[in-house]
Structure 1
Amino acid sequence: MPSHFLAAPILPTVPKARDLLDRLDNLRWDWQLGIRTRGVVATTKPDANHYATMGYRFVGRIVDALSLGPDDVFVDVGSGRGRVLCCAARRTCRSVVGIEYAPDLCRDACRNAESLRGRRTAIAVHNGLAESFDYSRATVVFLFNPFGASTLDRVLEKLRADRDGQPLRLAFANPDASQDDVFRRHSWLQPFDRWEKQIGGAEHGVAFHHSR
């Protein structure tokens, strides 16, 4: 038998096979929870990044690391179709809130919130600008890189003003160098953990902070 037949792959390469298994796992979770959250959606808003999802298992790891309790108000900034909202709402906390600029994504998130199986906490979705939202009740904030450094700076300043010294925990997934610089300038926030991409199974880098 010619040697090139021996070298020809019978199955997808390991990374491709892993990607396929991840997609199937996310489809299974969507079906199990009774929601539809997949897809990538571009945005025309300046300084905004396109909507994309991260894997359910990784979302669960982040939510677990934020240690939600019954008195927490969880806010997802740039909540898209609501995958993270739905995962958080299957924990017991005071409320789960999404902020999303795109009306179509807000409508999808509201439908998913209504159809979610296993919900323990109510979900509210707000259509608007993240830098204009009232964060006075927020105790835990999650962001999956929804916008660039300029908007992030304004949102963190709004968080500082609205919380007015009250405790806050925050996770920012997939940060770049410019966004890390913004966090360093906001000295009212203190980093307490950081996951690097592909280390320990991390799908994305995640920076965790809490208020001083």
Structure 2
Amino acid sequence: MLDARNQIFERLNNFRWEAQLNISTRGIAEVDKPDAGHYATIHYSAVYRVLRHLSLQPSDTFVDVGCGKGRILCCAARRPCRKVVGIDYCEEFCKEAQTNAARMRGRRVPVVVHNGAAEEFDYTEATALFFFSPFGASTLAAVLQKMDHDSQHRRIRLAFVNCNEEQDKVFARQSWLELYGYWRAAGRRAHSVHFYRRTGAEID
């Protein structure tokens, strides 16, 4: 009963935030790319909790890998950071994310959306990243390798939502990353979140 009540509360809260932000990001959809996950969203309450834990600073460039329609982008754009960037393989999602970012209320920083493969993106400016399990283990390995190369030993941290066993093995092989936080899924539809940062980096 409690779980059902929580789900009702979260859904109502999602509707409230969509109206307050003046955006539309709900829905579930498949992505036509090998090893890609499907499009879905997480509750706004979880989004803001993750963003608080990442502790965005005015110097940060926040990147949502697999940004979909832009829910995370719009929430991050209300926080004090340098820039917010989205990457998605689906052109239609990118158009919707751009529309949402343009019309959202309360935007404080620029939002840029890139249509393309995450494993080919230039992560040179990225300092804080978000992943909602956008692809499988093989693509994740390629993306993390690209991130390590592009970031050139700079401070970097990321949040990964709903990490499965194979993805967890990929992270375990990344000597340049260390786990600095973990939230276990609590409830039937809740999400686990792993927080990683470059080994030896301190998060303010």
Category of TM-score, reference length = shorter chain: over 0.9
Residue segments in structure 2 that go unaligned for 5+ positions in a row: 200-204
Name the SS for the 2:94 alignment partner: helix
Identity across matched positions, percent: 49
Per the TM alignment, residue 158 of structure 1 is displaced from its structure 2 partner at its CA by 0.2
Per the TM alignment, residue 136 of structure 1 is displaced from its structure 2 partner at its CA by 0.4
Equivalence for 2:136? 148
Equivalence for 1:159? 147
Residue type of the partner of 2:100?
N
Equivalence for 1:98? 86
Q: How many residues align?
A: 199
4+ residue stretches of structure 1 with deviation over 4 A?
none
State which of 71, 76, 95 in structure 2 corresponds to 1:88: 76
Per the TM alignment, residue 77 of structure 1 is displaced from its structure 2 partner at its CA by 0.1
State which of 192, 196, 200 in structure 2 corresponds to 1:209: 196
Distance (Å, rounded) in 2 between the aligned partners of 1:145 and 1:53: 11
TM-score (norm 2): 0.94
Equivalence for 1:184? 172
Distance (Å, rounded) in 1 between the aligned partners of 2:49 and 2:134: 19
Per the TM alignment, residue 18 of structure 1 is displaced from its structure 2 partner at its CA by 2.5
Equivalence for 2:21? 33
Matched, 1:111 2:113: no
Per the TM alignment, residue 210 of structure 1 is displaced from its structure 2 partner at its CA by 0.5
Equivalence for 1:59? 47
Point out the structure with max Rg over C-alpha.
Answer: 1
CA RMSD of aligned residues (A): 1.4
Q: Which moved more, 1:127-136 or 1:43-52?
A: 43-52
Q: Deviations over 1:23-48 (max 9, x none)?
A: 11101100011100100111121100
Name the SS for the 2:15 alignment partner: helix
Distance (Å, rounded) in 1 between the aligned partners of 2:143 and 2:43: 25
Name the SS for the 1:124 alignment partner: strand
Name the SS for the 1:74 alignment partner: strand
Residue segments in structure 1 that go unaligned for 5+ positions in a row: 1-12
Contact 2:84 2:109 in 1 (8 A): yes
Distance (Å, rounded) in 1 between the aligned partners of 2:181 and 2:2: 30
Contact 2:10 2:45 in 1 (8 A): no
Distance (Å, rounded) in 2 between the aligned partners of 1:16 and 1:68: 33
Distance (Å, rounded) in 2 between the aligned partners of 1:203 and 1:116: 26
Q: Deviations over 1:79-118 (max 9, x none)?
A: 0000000110000110000000101110100000001101
Matched, 1:75 2:63: yes
Pairing of 1:170-181 with structure 2 (within 5 A): 170-181=158-169
Name the SS for the 1:112 alignment partner: helix
